[in-house]
Every structure is written in structure tokens, then in C-alpha cells.
Amino acid sequence: MPQVQRIKSLELPELAPYRTLRRPLEHREQGIFVAEGEKVVRRLLESDFTVVSLLLPEKWFLQYEALIGSRPENISVYIAEKSTLQELTGFSMFQGVLAVGRIPAAQTLRAVLEQSAHPYLFAAVEGLSNAENVGALVRNCAAFGVQALLVSRSSSSPFLRRAVRNSMGAIFRLPVLERLDLEETLRELRTRGVCCLAAHPHLATQTLWQADFSSDCCVVFGSEGYGISAEVLAGCDASVAIPMLSGVDSLNVGNAAAVFLYEASRQRNRG
């Protein structure tokens, strides 16, 4: 049964994650993340992730009550008016719905490979620092059938609050491997017969329409400003570009990922 408590302040020790929304490193050290928004929190409650607590207005608690009651854990529920929540947290919220969940235990590449069906479709990201872009990438991966996202140690975590929000909860159903040495990871994938294709607008050896995504493959995306490093690019089998009209330098990484992964999905589902 949920433990329900009405609050007028965030002084309780259990509410510390909500007091520190702008300090994501503390959350990471504790192995937790914050979910924000009605749809995202609902999808968290519907997932296999562990839910620690909820902080929300009473009207949303009433809508979630049956779902909360179906959970295996005893979730702590803190109820306050939306205006009070905005005052307590220090930022404006459209719905005033927050939750704390636990980041799942880290998986190994071997485990992900064993759990995934052929032909593999993985995505990898290097140096992506913008949390919103990471969240958009997660959402695209989930939409187009990516089996796991491989995140370099130079990238932002997909469990940052803004990344979770921008993923619209897709992070709760996409296996993620974080803090990877991406060069080493790509090397291991290639020894297992996985073709690694770098999304690169300037140093491409083939266009998107020429690339073969129908067999085991991993599509690698780079940072917003610098793209893919020379070392990671050298670890890929080929570099691929989206054909664009002259005068357009590149697409936002989220948009580019949508184009690449749609093409991969199209090739795999034709015929």
C-alpha cells in the first residue's frame, strides 16, 4: 500500500531529491532519477523500474491511485498543491507531477547481445552533452526498434531529468549501457560481426540510401558541435551521410537519428 502524506514544505529527508533538482550529480551518485510530467510519470508507474516516491497534486494522485496500488513496492506519495510545489522546487511546472525512480543495475554488452534478436540494431552516441538531445535520441531509438543505446563516458546520462522528460518515458523500455569506452565497445561489436556505421555529414564514404542496415549493425552519432571523434570514426566500418541541399551544414542530432533509424527500420521491414 502507498504511504500517503500531505506536505507544505520539502524539509523531510525523504524529499531531498526534489530539493536538489538542479544537482543531477547527487542523484546519479545515489542511483536515482527524477521523472517529470503526467505522461512520463504514468509510464514510469507502468514500467518495471523501481519507483521510490511521488510528489504531486491530489487530483493526479486520484488518477494514479489504482496504478500505484498495483505496484509491488510501497511507494511514498507526497501531496501538495501545484502552486506550493512550484514554490518549493523553484521552477514552473505545467502539471506539477514528479516522481523519483531507481536507475536499473548496469548491464553488460554480452548480456544485451544475448537478449537481442538478429538482426541487431543498436545505436551509440559519443560526446552528446545536451540532455534534451539525449532524450530525443532515446525516443527515436524506441520508436524505430533499436534494441539498446550505447552511451560513451563523454555523453550526458539519459537518466538526467531533462533527458527523461524529453524521452517521454521511452527510457523505461530501452536497454542502455552507459559510461562506455566507445572505441573498445565498437571493437567488440565488430569482432562479433556487427557493422558499425558512423553518422557523419562531412567525411561520408556513402550516402544513407547506399548504406545497408538490414544485417546486424550499430549506428554511431556524435556531439552537437564536434561530431564523431577521429578515434571513434576509425573504429567504424563506414561513415554515412544524409543527402541534403547545399548550404545546409547538418541536422540536429535528434533529427538526424530519426532519419537514420527510420531508414534502418524501412530496410528491415520491406518486402
With 90 as the cut, is the pLDDT of residue 50 above it? yes
CATH architecture of 109-269: 3-Layer(aba) Sandwich (3.40)
Q: Evaluate whether 3-102 and 109-269 have a shared fold.
A: no
With 80 as the cut, is the pLDDT of residue 91 above it? no
Q: Which amino acid is at 183?
A: E
- Rounded to the nearest 5 percent, the helix, strand and coil shares of the chain are 40, 20, 40
What is the pTM assigned to this prediction?
0.93
Strands 121-125 and 148-152: parallel
Output b/e per residue, 63-89; b: 16+ Cβ within 10 A. ebeeebeeeeeebbbbbbebebbeebb
Domain ranges of the chain: 3-102, 109-269
Over residues 203-219, the pLDDT tens digits come to 778 999 999 999 999 99
Q: Which of these, 59, 67, 54, 43, lies nearest to 14 by C-alpha position?
A: 54
CATH class given for the domain over 3-102: alpha beta
3-state secondary structure of 139: helix
